[in-house]
């Protein structure tokens, strides 16, 4: 069965992100600690901002508190989008794929920040859908964002999608939605240490077209 749709992560997959993720995580951690939703012994090094926020939600973070935390994240995201460039080969790959595949983006960033960044880099029009955290019920590694994409394109079967990303949370979310996941740059050992088993791995974006050809031959 041929692949008909491809979902991309954004930061450090399509774009060379300038978001200071460490500073954002620390800022959010301090805010959640002030709310007494995280303790001093919280294993910060084991978490991303997204998984930390979901932990806080389980601990009782209110909708108002969630909105405040997302506001903190948005500050860092918008600052980091200024001057963001494309990953090597991103523009060329998207031109090759356009017209043959339905393309989408799933990112934990706000949709506003994501659209702005993709517009500034000149690739926003390549995508049939850009899903940010506003379109999710929970952040990646939840499969929510990927399931949202599937719902918008009901004519494409689940097994006709693949997903590409650089982080284990991309892989966890993709696989949770029933999609084959391709690890970009990140080693298989790193992915497996987080319980993610990618269908493949590429070191450069231009390798994706060859991977797709081989994958479809196998199927």
Residue 213 structure tokens:
């050809």
Give SS3 for 52: helix
Sign, Cα dihedral of 208, 210, 216, 219: negative
- Rounded distance between C-alpha atoms, residue 51 and residue 189, angstroms: 21
Neighbours of 37 (CB within 10 A): 21
Mean pLDDT of the chain: 93
Tokens coding 88: 């090597």
Query: Which of 18-22, 71-75, 128-132 shows the highest mean pLDDT?
Result: 128-132
Conformational region of residue 103, where left means phi above 0, alpha means psi within -120 to 50, and beta covers everything else: beta
CA nearest neighbour of 92 among 204, 213, 10, 201: 204
**Which pLDDT does position 219 carry in this prediction?**
62
Residue 122's pLDDT is what? 95
The residue whose two tokens read 């690890």 is 183
Give 163-207 pLDDT, tens digit per residue: 999 999 999 999 999 999 999 999 999 999 999 999 999 999 999
Residue 63 in this model has a pLDDT that exceeds 80: yes
Cα separation, 47 vs 158, whole angstroms = 29
pLDDT of res. 127: 98
Average pLDDT in the 128-134 region? Answer: 95
117 Cβ partners below 8 Å, 6+ apart?
10, 15, 81, 84, 109
Q: Are strands 85-86 and 15-16 parallel, antiparallel or unpaired?
A: antiparallel
pTM of model > 0.85: no
């Amino acid at each position: 069965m041929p692949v008909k749709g491809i979902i991309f992560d954004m930061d450090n997959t399509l774009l060379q992100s300038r978001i200071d993720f460490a500073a954002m995580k620390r800022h959010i951690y301090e805010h959640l600690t002030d709310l007494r939703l995280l303790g001093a012994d919280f294993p910060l090094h084991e978490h991303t901002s997204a998984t930390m926020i979901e932990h806080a939600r389980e601990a009782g973070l209110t909708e108002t508190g969630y909105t405040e935390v997302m506001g903190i994240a948005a500050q860092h995201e918008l600052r980091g989008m200024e001057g963001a460039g494309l990953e090597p080969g991103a523009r060329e790959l998207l031109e090759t794929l356009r017209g043959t595949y339905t393309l989408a983006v799933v990112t934990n960033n706000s949709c506003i920040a994501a659209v702005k960044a993709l517009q500034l880099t000149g690739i926003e029009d390549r995508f049939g859908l850009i899903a940010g955290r506003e379109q999710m019920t929970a952040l990646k590694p939840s499969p929510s964002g990927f399931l949202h994409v599937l719902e918008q394109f009901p004519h494409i079967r689940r097994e006709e999608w693949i997903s590409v990303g650089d982080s284990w949370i991309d892989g966890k979310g993709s696989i949770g939605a029933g999609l084959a996941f391709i690890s970009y740059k990140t080693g298989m050992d790193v992915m497996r240490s987080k319980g993610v088993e990618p269908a493949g791995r590429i070191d450069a974006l231009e390798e994706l077209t060859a991977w797709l050809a081989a994958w479809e031959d196998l199927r």
